[in-house]
């Protein structure tokens, strides 16, 4: 149970990090600070 919950949290964090990285790349290419 705890391991599955940890895996779900880790996966969600990975998806969030990936989204932030994509926004950061787009923002840096536009020379704009990405809004969180």
- 1-36 tens-digit pLDDT: 788 999 999 999 999 898 888 877 777 776 655 566
What is residue 28's predicted lDDT score, i.e. its pLDDT? 73
Per-residue pLDDT, 31: 62
Give the per-residue pLDDT at 23.
Answer: 79
Q: Are the C-beta atoms of residues 33 and 25 closer than 8 Å to each other?
A: no
Q: pTM here?
A: 0.51
Cα dihedral sign for 22, 25, 26, 31?
positive
């Amino acid at each position: 149970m705890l391991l599955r919950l940890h895996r779900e949290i880790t996966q969600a964090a990975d998806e969030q990090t990936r989204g932030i990285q994509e926004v950061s790349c787009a923002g840096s290419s536009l020379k704009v600070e990405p809004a969180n």
